[in-house]
Structure 1
Amino acid sequence: MDRTSTYFQNQWNAELYDSKHSFVSELAADLVEILSPKPGECILDLGCGTGHLTHKIASKGAEVIGIDSAPTMVEQALHNYPQIDFSVVDARNLPFTEKFDAVFSNAVLHWIKEAEEVVIGINKALKPGGRFVAEFGGKGNVKAIVTAIYNALQKAGYPADSGLNPWHFPSIGEYGSLLEKHGLQLTFATLFERPTPLDDGEQGMQNWLKMFANSFFNGLSLDAQMSILTDIENQLRPTLYKNGTWFADYKRIRVIAIK
C-alpha cells in the first residue's frame, strides 16, 4: 500500500513536547544531582531539548552549553532561557576538543543509531578526568509499544519495516564496552524499569505516538493513521492503561564514565 500523506511530520514539535511531555525532564531531575555541577565548571548538555535541564544545571553555578540537532527545540530553548548558550549541533560530529569538565545527556542517545560516533565525540570534548553522565532508553525499552505498532501496521497491510524504527536501545554490556573502547572508564551502570505515566488522560498514548513514534506513520493517509493508532491503543489498553492514565513501558540505562 502507498504512503502518500505527510500528516505526521518526522520532526520535533517543541510546543507539544513542552506542553504534553514535561515528564522527560522532570523524571531526570535526580540525574542532575548525580552530575553534581559545581560553580566554575564548563558542562555540555548533549540533546538539550527545550532547555529545562540545561537551566537546572546552570542554576548550580556552572557554565553550560546546550546543543540539539533539532532547530525547533533550540529555538524553544532560547525562548525559554535566553541567558543560556544554545545551538544546533549534530551529536555525531561534536566540534569540541577538551573543553568540558562534564558531558550530560538525558533521553537522547537512544535516538542516535551511530552510537560509536557520539562516544568518540564525547571523549574528545571532555577534559582529562572529565565525566560523562547520561540516561537513555536501554534494551527492552517500550517493547510492548513497538510490538503493538508493528502488529497494527501489518494488520493494516503495511509491511513491518525495521528501517522506520528511529531508536537504538543497547544493553549495559554493549554500551559499556563502547565507552571503554574509546577511552571512557565506566564507573557506574544500571538498567531499570520505569513505567512512566503519560500526560493528557485518554489521549496520552496517541500524543506519545505522535511525538516520539511519528516515523512509523509517515506517508500514511489520515484515515489509515487513525485506524492504526486505535488498534495500537486496543492492544495496549489491558496492560498500559490504568485508572484513566496511559503508561509507557520504559526501561532506562544510566551510566557514569570518566575520561
Structure 2
Amino acid sequence: MSDPWNAKKYTEDAAFVPQLTSVVQQWLDPQSSDSILDIGCGDGKLTQDLSKRCESIFGIDNSSNMVELSQSRGLNAEVVDCSKLDQWNHSHKYSKVFSNATFHWILSQTKTDSQRVAVFKKIHHLLQPGGTFVCEMGGFGNVAEIQAAFIMAVEKFGNKTVEQAAAASPWYFPHEHVIAKFLQEAGFSVEKIERVYRSTELAEGEGLRKWLELFGFNFLSEIDESKRSAALDYIVDTLKTTNYEPHSKKWYAGYVRLRWVARAN
C-alpha cells in the first residue's frame, strides 16, 4: 500500500478533524515568536491556520499526497515516516512541537514500547530547552464500536480469525498513564494530560460510509475487492443500532481524545 491517503477526499469528508481542535490549540497557545514543528500535518488546513499565529511552522507527514496538498497551500512540508522519527536527519530546534489526530497511526507502526519512547526522545531532541510538545490523538476506547464492526466484517467477508482481523487495525489507542510513562522516559515533564469522550457528528447522508472508506483502508485491504461493498453495507447496518440518531437522522462516531502538554527538561 504505497500511499492510501486521498488528500482531496480527506479535505472533503474529514473537515471536522481540523475544526474540532479548539482545546489543543488553546493548549498550544502559539505566539508570534514561536517556531513550530507540526507532526502529521495532513492536508495542511490546520497548519496553515497556525502559520498565521507564529513566526514559522514546518509540517511533516508520511503521505506524499497530503504533503503535496500542504505545499500547494504555500507551506513548508516534507514527507517523513514519523514512526521512524528517531532516524530523521533533521537538526533544527523548535520552540514547540504540535500534533493532531496522528499519533494513534504513528504509535501503531512502532511495535514496541521502546520504539515508541524513541520517537518521543527524538521529539525531545528537536525541541529547544524548555520547549513544549502539545498533542491530541485517539485514546483508549476511541471509535470502539466502529473498530469492533470492522473486525466482524473482516472475519465474515475476509475469512479471517478474530485475531487476524484485529491485527489489521492501523490504530493504537492507549490509556493516558501509558503515554505519560513514555513521555517521562523520553525526558519530558508532563504538565497536563487528559482523556475525554467526544461524540463527533459525521457528514450527512453517507457520512459513516465515507468515514469507513477514508480511515479504514487497512481493514478493507483484508477483504477481496469484489466483497468490499457488501462488507461496508454490513458495517453500516451493524452500526445503525449504536451510531445513528434517528430523530436528527445523523451519524456519530464515538471519539475519545487523549491530549497532553509536555515540557522538555
Q: Distance in 1 between matches of 2:44 and 2:22?
A: 13
Q: Report 1:231-246 matches (<5 A).
A: 231-242=234-245, 243-246=248-251
Check the 8 A contact 1:10/1:214 in 2, yes or no: no
Deviations 1:213-235 (A, max 9, x none): 11111153334111111111111
Hey, what does 1:152 align to over in structure 2? 153
Does the alignment pair 1:197 with 2:201? yes
Query: Cα RMSD over matched residues?
Result: 1.7
| Segment of structure 1 superposing worse, 234-243 or 105-114 | 234-243
Verify: 1:38 aligned to 2:39, yes or no: no
1:10: Cα distance to partner? 6.1
Secondary structure (helix, strand or coil) at the match of 1:202 reads: coil
Q: Distance in 1 between matches of 2:235 and 2:80?
A: 34
Aligned to 1:258: 263
C-alpha contact (below 8 Å) 2:154/2:222 kept by paired residues: no
Code of the residue aligned with 1:125 in structure 2: it is L
Partners of 2:236 and 2:140 in 1: CA distance: 23
Deviations 1:33-91 (A, max 9, x none): 22111112211011000111111211113210011111000001111x21x21111122
Could you tell me how far 1:159 is from its partner in structure 2?
2.7
Identify which range, 99-108 or 228-237, moves more after superposition. Answer: 228-237
* Count of residues in Structure 1 that have an aligned counterpart in Structure 2: 249
Q: Which of 34, 41, 45 is equivalent to 1:48?
A: 41
1:50 is paired with a residue whose SS is: coil
1:208-254 deviation line (CA, Å, top 9, x unaligned): 11111111111533341111111111111012011222111111101
Identity %, equivalent residues: 32
For 2:252, the equivalent position in structure 1 comes to: 247
Partners of 2:89 and 2:117 in 1: CA distance:
16
Q: Which residue of 1 aligns with 2:121?
A: 120
In structure 2, distance between residues paired with 1:95 and 1:55: 24
**Which runs of structure 2 are paired with 1:198-217 in the superposition (5 Å)?**
198-199=202-203, 201-217=204-220
Contact 2:199 2:255 in 1 (8 A): yes
The normalised TM-score by structure 2 is 0.89
Correspondence for 2:113: none
Q: 1:81-120, aligned counterparts within 5 Å?
A: 81-82=73-74, 84-91=75-82, 92-93=84-85, 94-97=88-91, 99-112=93-106, 113=108, 114=110, 115-120=116-121
Q: Cα deviations across residues 67-124 of structure 1 (Å, max 9, x unaligned)?
A: 1111000001111x21x21111122224334600000000000001223232121111
Distance in 2 between residues matched to 1:258 and 1:51, nearest whole Å: 25
List alignment gaps of at least 5 residues for structure 1: 1-5
Distance 1:10 1:63 in 2: 28
Q: 1:225 & 1:100 partners in 2: Cα distance?
A: 44
Distance 1:153 1:163 in 2: 11
SS in 2 for 1:104: strand
Amino acid at match of 2:228: Q
